[in-house]
Amino acid sequence: MDPKQPIERVAFITVLRTAEELRARFERLLKDYGLTEPQFNVLRIVRGADKDGIPSQDIGRRMITRVPDVTRLLERLEQKGLVTRVRSDIDRRVVLTRITTEGRKLLSQIDDPVDDCHRQQFANMSKTDQKELIRLLNALAEG
């Protein structure tokens, strides 16, 4: 660590560099299943929605990484047969997204490898340290 640099700058760069390393490894895993990180994120969100589906706007708000065009992302997933989109009977302006059987199958294939990937990524930290890291990162995000 360069003592001439403010500690906040070093902390910021370290957080970004670490996040990028974690993301790159995760994206390599997802690539084996034909998905990008945003596509996986959408599928995870839609899988957790109720049977009526989830409005596209809500998907955009719940994304981990913001994407400029959720509609285009949903179109790609629909073309792959992983989600369906229908207009709401109650409000025709609302488009509801539901996961398909194929989407559920794909996620069930990915669940264990994703968990394994994350276990490997954090293998050098105890569970206590991981909980402390979560606490510190939440405090950072809130600040």
Domains in the chain: boundaries: 7-142
Sheet architecture: strand order including 95-99: 54-55, 95-99, 83-87
Alpha-carbon span 23 to 25, nearest angstrom: 5
Residue-wise pLDDT tens digits, 43-90: 999 999 988 899 988 998 999 888 888 989 999 999 999 999 988 777
Prediction pTM value: 0.86
- Considering the four listed CATH numbers 3.30.230.10, 2.60.40.10, 1.10.3720.10, 1.10.10.10, the one that applies to the domain covering 7-142 is 1.10.10.10
Residue-wise pLDDT tens digits, 1-28: 667 889 999 999 999 999 999 999 999 9
State the SS3 of 9-25. HHHHHHHHHHHHHHHHH
What tokens appear for 93 in the block? 């302006």
